[in-house]
Amino acid sequence: MDTIVYRLGAHCDIEDVEEGKIYEAKVQGFAKFGTFVLFNDRVKGLVHKSNSKKSHEERDTILVRVLNIRSNGNIDLEEVTPPVYTTQMVVKKTPMVRLSDLATRVGRTVTIDGEVAQIKQTSGPTIFTIVDETGTENAAAFIEAGVRAYPDVQLGDLVEVVGEVMMRNNQVQIEVASMTVLVGEEADRVRQRLEEALEVRAEPEDIPFLVESEVLENLKPELRKIAKIIRKSVFTAQPIILRHHADADGICASVAVEQAVVALIRESGADFDSESYLFKRAPSKAPFYEIEDVTRDLDYALKDHVRFGQKLPLILMMDNGSTEEDEPSYRMAKVYGLPIVVVDHHHPDASVDQYLMAHVNPYHAGGDFGITAGMLGTELARLIHPPVEPLIRHLPAVAAVGDRSEAPERHRYLDLVSDDYDEAYLKNIALSLDYEQFWLRFNDGREIVKDILNLKNNPERHRNLVALLTMEANRAIEEQLSASMPHVQEQVLENGARLFVLDVEMYAHRFTFPPPGKTSGEVHDRLCTANAQDAVVTLGLGPDFAVIRSRGVLMNIPQMVRELRDEITGGGVNGGGHLVVGSIKFVEGMRDVVFKRLIEKIGAFPVESTR
Ligand code: MN
């Protein structure tokens, strides 16, 4: 029978060494009394010079028999030179555990496997974020302060990790003893196991909507699809960037999803600061994805990818994203392969869908803008993480009044929360959001916004804040309108609608609240009240833009924009929005030409018989 020579695995220790057996060892150094050898990084023994057979150099591999393991841990060895032998690996037997069970194994050595979802080099160890079918945890590997451990392990690799389970800052973490990249069949087997489990785990629960709605029922498959995409991103530690329109409706939609996603990230076990890099909510000033926005998003995502070893993000658009104005930015994102999903209630252009993984829009399902983004976002949030519901169930009502929904769903969502919030108060919350977002500009104002929406379990501070912001916003609106209203010009259009024009550049305060769109809306509201029997169109006219508000005219703003762009050479016309509420941009020198044609077009739309 052949002699067996054992080779000690990387994470074995002295308990795995047996007296009488022969091991492969590496010469580490020399002393007067003999030669020190290493079985692996952790186990060391001594060949007394009387037991040496040959002379060696450092790092030579030699074979040694274990004579004695002393109680102090010293191992006495003799060198052997068997003429024929076979080698066997000694593998530390550690239990294979799933990440969600690590918390019950603190202090023990375990084996885990999974996908490397992030590699972050700290000033100390290298932190590998590992994802399996049950959760997300960090594994810390250390060779030298600030030096990348296991440099051949890459983002997306499947690895087997052996190490001791520790608690660091109240978080479970594995101290890596060894990490092996899985290849070939073994990798395929683990990848398949993870993918199959992810499909099941990411599937949203089958729960009914908060209110009855045929349109929502029609949208359910697509909403579930987006919920599943988002859940997959969370479970695989893919960052999410949520871009939303910076108004009350867009804020409600995105905050509902934010609450669900952040709770799900925490539940799936990622470390506490991860929610800030795994989820980012970013308001967009324009009602579409501007090149400036996508450039900023790409800039950060690509830097984080390089510096922190993060995956490229999923882009989620809310109350934004359905129109062809978004397409230049989508093309930009496509170059980098970023997946995009949209939840919007603006009138959609079919051409955007070639860029999107999924697209929820009530116009696809027999509805219109009356199904607000806040309604869609809250229902989506419940599909992403159902326990979030009690926190966010009033957000659709805030969104409904904020966006002036006239859909039947408006009243259902308002009834749902009428014990706690009456309609007037919901309007105050919506106004407070608009007012505060104006001053927040591009910032998400996460904590302030949560206070305004009463999400922080501090109802007194919420009420005080909403009372103050409502008062300030109303004061600013009064101030603006007292200057503006006397300058509103009236004419009657061909279709009988009353047109009111306010030059917001000349007769409104600039760079303060309310901005031109809101100013025009407030003017419009007053004129609608004063002309209750008539179709009313209000134009807020700037040097190179016009804001349109209307009631009772069956117009189509996106269509008018397309026609003006085609008909007026050198007008530089673009813009859009909802069918009857929107804005148009043009070059300043063509203002009079565009304005004249715009009025002709508005005057040609049929008027609803409201009398
Ligand atoms: Mn909206």
Q: Which tens digit of pLDDT belongs to each residue from 355-397?
A: 999 999 999 999 999 999 999 999 999 999 999 999 999 999 9
43 and 69 fall within a common domain: yes
Q: Tell me, in angstroms, the distance from the centre of ligand 1 to residue 402's CA.
A: 8
Q: Which residues contact 301 (CB under 8 A, 6 or more apart)?
A: 239, 241, 310, 312, 313, 336, 338
What's the 344 CA to ligand 1 centre distance in angstroms?
7
Same domain, 326 and 272: yes
Count how many Cα atoms sit within 13 Å of the Cα of residue 257 in the half-sphere of its side chain: 34
Does the global pTM surpass 0.85? no
Residue 407 CA to ligand 1 center (angstroms) comes to 13
Distance 404 CA to ligand 1 centre (A): 9
Ligand 1 centroid to Cα of residue 551, in Å, is 17
Ligand 1 centre from 578 Cα, in Å? Answer: 9
Same-domain pairing of 524 and 552: yes
CATH code for position 370: 3.90.1640.30
| Over residues 73-78, mean pLDDT | 93
pLDDT of residue 92: 72
Q: How far, in Å, is the centroid of ligand 1 from the Cα of 576? A: 13
Q: How does residue 271 score in pLDDT terms, banded at 50, 70 and 90?
A: low
Is 232 in the same domain as 375? yes
Q: Are residues 389 and 259 in the same domain?
A: yes
Residue whose token pair is 């959001």: 433
pLDDT-derived band at 274, boundaries 50, 70, 90:
low
Find the 446 Cα to ligand 1 centroid distance in Å.
19
Per-residue pLDDT at 86: 87
Distance 434 CA to ligand 1 centre (A): 12
CATH number of domain containing 81: 2.40.50.140
Rounded to the nearest angstrom, the distance between the alpha carbon of 348 and the centre of ligand 1 is: 13
Which residue range is the domain that position 582 belongs to? 488-604
Position 609 scores a pLDDT of: 67
Domain-located, residue 577: yes
pLDDT single digits (tens) 486-518: 999 999 999 999 999 999 999 999 889 999 999
What distance in angstroms lies between residue 249's CA and the mean position of ligand 1's atoms? 5
Do 261 and 348 fall into the same domain?
yes
Tell me how far the alpha carbon of residue 517 lies from the centroid of ligand 1, in angstroms. 14
Is the confidence at residue 175, as pLDDT, over 60?
yes
**Which of residues 376, 398, 422 is at a domain's end?**
422
| Sheet order of strands, 545-551 included | 489-492, 498-503, 536-541, 545-551, 582-585, 574-577
Of 403, 388, 399, 437, residue with least CA distance to 421: 399
* pLDDT one-digit tens code per residue, 100-135: 999 999 988 899 999 999 999 999 999 999 999 998
User: How far does the centroid of ligand 1 lie from the alpha carbon of residue 375, in Å?
Assistant: 10
Domain CATH code at residue 581 = 3.10.310.40
Domain presence at residue 335: yes
* Mean per-residue pLDDT, 149-177: 91
563 and 525 both lie in a single domain? yes
> pLDDT confidence of 453, banded at 50, 70, 90?
very high
Q: How far is the CA of 141 from the centre of ligand 1 (A)?
A: 47
Give the distance (Å) from ligand 1 centre to CA of residue 173: 43
**Could you say which of 57, 90, 123 is where a domain stops?**
90
- Band of the pLDDT at 272, cuts 50, 70, 90? low
Task: Locate 184 and state its tokens.
Answer: 């070939």
How far is the centre of ligand 1, averaged over its atoms, from the C-alpha of 373 (Å)?
5
End residue of a domain, out of 422, 445, 462: 422
Q: Are residues 129 and 166 in the same domain?
A: yes
- pLDDT surpassing 60 at residue 610: no
Any idea which residue has 């047109």 for tokens? 499
Tens-place pLDDT, residues 334-353: 999 999 999 999 999 999 99
Q: Is residue 588 part of a domain?
A: yes
Query: CA-to-CA distance for 254 and 453, rounded, in angstroms?
Result: 12
Contact 398, 377 (CB under 8 A): no
Task: Examine the domain organization and report whether 125 and 146 are in the same domain.
Answer: yes
**Ligand 1: distance of its center to the CA of 293 in Å?**
19
In a domain, 504, yes or no: yes
What's the pLDDT score for residue 10? 74
Ligand 1 centroid – CA 284 distance (Å): 12
Claim to verify: residue 295 and residue 215 sit in the same structural domain: yes
One domain for residues 224 and 351:
yes
Q: Judge whether residue 431 has pLDDT over 80.
A: yes
Note whether residue 290 is domain-resident: yes
Q: How far is the CA of 589 from the centre of ligand 1 (A)?
A: 31
372 Cα–ligand 1 center, Å = 6
Predicted confidence band at 270 (pLDDT cuts at 50, 70, 90)?
Answer: low
Summarize the confidence of residues 260-276 as an average pLDDT.
79
Q: Is pLDDT larger for residue 447 or for residue 55?
A: 447
Q: How many domains does the chain have?
A: 4
- In a shared domain, residues 397 and 285: yes
Give 282-292 pLDDT, tens digit per residue: 999 888 899 99
The band of 581, judged by pLDDT with boundaries at 50, 70 and 90, is: confident
Question: Is there a contact between 94 and 111 (Cβ–Cβ < 8 Å)?
Answer: yes
Mean of per-residue pLDDT scores for the chain:
93
Residue 193 lies in a domain: yes
Instruction: Report how far ligand 1's centroid is from the alpha carbon of 200 (Å).
Output: 33
Q: Is residue 15 part of a domain?
A: yes
- Give a yes or no: residue 233 inside a domain: yes
* Average pLDDT rounded to a whole number, residues 230-250: 95
